[in-house]
Amino acid sequence: MITTILTTIAIVGGMAGFLALLLVVAEMFFANYGEVIIDINGKRKLKVKGGSSLLSTLNENKIYLASACGGRGSCGFCKCKVRSGGGPLLPTEKPFLSPDEIKDNVRLSCQVKVKEDIAIIIPEEIFNVRQFAGVVSKIEDHTYDIKELTIQLTQPTEINFKAGQYVQLQSPRYGKIKQKVSRAYSISSSPDHTDYIQLIIRRVPDGICTTWVHDFLKEGDEVSFTGPFGDFFIQDTRADMLFVAGGSGKAPIKAMLEYLDARNSTRRMGYFFGARSRKDLYLDDLFATWEKSMRNFAYYPVLSQPTEQCEWDGRCGYVMPYFDEFIQDVNNTEAYLCGSPGMIAAVVKYLVSKGIPKEKIYFDSFA
């Protein structure tokens, strides 16, 4: 009897042990991709350990592609061109890629696993992207739902960016929120200040990061962000500049104007800011001082729905009809737009109908 029990235990144990061993060996064999080489733009070669996603492998090597979802394949920001070695296109990537991008071998780097030598192409600017740590030195309330943060950099202590670019701010675990998230916000301070950045952040109903900024963040708190990202900058020409923004879209325009003001720019500039009512207007004083310091700059606030209490006798309705006050020569005008996709679409349509070439309209859409 005892021997039967013992042999049973031995056989079951042996069998299970054998299969477990088989799995461990298989795991070592299948999941070990050894060292692989990532070829970047044909110029740089990275020797890395294979097996994880392209996005996280690059992150470990301090190359930060934009990503808002943290590699879960839901934001579609971390696109990059894979020239060879990325494996087949996965069903998880398809919805984020246009037919042209698929033809161009664009992939979502968070879904591509590094299993073999791989050659990728990423924009050169990405190499400037770093992870930054800083301390919130000031929080200003601009309107009932818009705050501006000033973040003093601590590690590294300097940032180089172009006016109009954005960073990804990381919110920590707080309250009931059990995970960190990253969200994109435009830098609103001039690139001349390399030791701090400012961000203009509007409250999003039920938003994870903005709720943290608006309700939990205090002056003196430590924060971290990655950046800079984006290709919305001032073109180095002599053309007239038409700026249009709404809501928190004011941020990159503020950075651009601050930059131009520091250089005593004499380019003709007009800034149309669309808001709903008086309580949505902010930083008016700052723009008024720039109107004085830059002789060719004019600020045009437009309210779409001023109420009685606003006591508003300025421009009302949509911003577009007022462009005529500024535009002189359509062939010598550039437009810089930042705001909602609805606004951008309408303004682009209007400007094109006025005769401004599409390629001279630069925009940063919230979509």
Partner 1 sequence: MKETPQEKRIHENMKAGVMCAKGFLGSDTRHFHEIIETDAAHLQTLGYTREEVADRMQALTNAAFEAFMGSITLEEHLIVEYTSFRGKLTCPFAHPGGFRKGSVTLQNTRNNITLCWTPLNIHMIREHGFFEGHGSEHRLDPDILIKALFN
Partner 2 sequence: MEINAFIIFIASIFTSNILLTNFLGMCSFLSVSKEVESSVGLGLAVVFVMTLTTALNYVVYHMVLVPLNIVYLQYIIFIIVIAAFVQLTEMMLERFSPVLYYSLGIFLPLITVNCAILGVSLFMIIRNYSFLQSIAFGAGGGLGWLLAILALAGIRQKVRYKFVPKGLQGAGLSMIITGIMAMAFIGFSGIVVIQ
Binding site for partner 2 (CB under 8 A): 7-8, 11-12, 15-16, 19-20, 22-23, 26-27, 30-31, 87-88, 90-92, 113, 115
For residue 237, give both structure tokens: 């020409």
> Which partner in partner 2, partner 1, none is near 30 (CB below 5 to 8 A by kind)?
partner 2
Q: Provide, rounded to whole angstroms, the least separation between the CB of residue 111 and partner 2.
A: 9
Nearest residue to 230 via CA among 156, 167, 182: 167
One residue of 211, 224, 226, 333 binding partner 1 per CB under 8 A: 211
Of the pair 84, 92, the CB lying nearest partner 2 is at 92
Segment 315-324 long-range contacts (CB within 8 Å, at least 24 positions apart): 318/274, 318/346, 319/244, 319/272, 319/273, 319/274, 319/347, 320/346, 320/347, 320/350, 322/272, 323/242, 323/270, 323/272, 323/350, 323/351, 323/354
CA distances 158 to 128, 221, 228, Å, are 12, 19, 12
DSSP 162: -
Shortest gap between Cβ of 145 and partner 1 (angstroms)? 9
Q: Closest Cα to residue 282, out of 303, 266, 298?
A: 303
Q: Which one of partner 2, partner 1, none is in contact with 113 (Cβ closer than 5 to 8 A by kind)?
A: partner 2
- Residue 94 binds to partner 1 (criterion: CB under 8 A): yes
Least distance to partner 2, CB of residue 86, Å: 10
Q: With respect to partner 1, which residue has the nearer C-beta, 42 or 314?
A: 314
Return phi, psi of residue 46, to 5°: -115, 130
353: helix, coil or strand?
Answer: helix
14 binding partner (options partner 1, partner 2, none; Cβ < 5 to 8 Å by kind): none
Q: How far is the CB of 46 from partner 1 (least distance, A)?
A: 29
Do 242 and 336 touch, CB atoms closer than 8 A? yes
**Residue in 119, 122, 135, 177 binding partner 1, rule: CB under 8 A:** 177
Tell me which of partner 1, partner 2, none is bound by residue 23, counting a contact when its beta carbon lies within the kind-specific cut-off of 5 to 8 angstroms: partner 2
Handedness of CA 60, 166, 108, 122 (dihedral sign): negative
The verdict on 310 binding partner 1 (CB under 8 A) reads no
Query: Minimum distance between the CB of residue 166 and partner 2, rounded to whole angstroms?
Result: 32
CB of 302 to partner 1, least distance (A): 8
Residue type, 176: K
| Residues lying near partner 1 in the complex (CB under 8 A) | 68-69, 73-76, 91-92, 94-96, 175-179, 183-185, 202, 204-208, 211, 246-248, 274, 276-277, 304-305, 318-319, 339-343, 346, 366-367
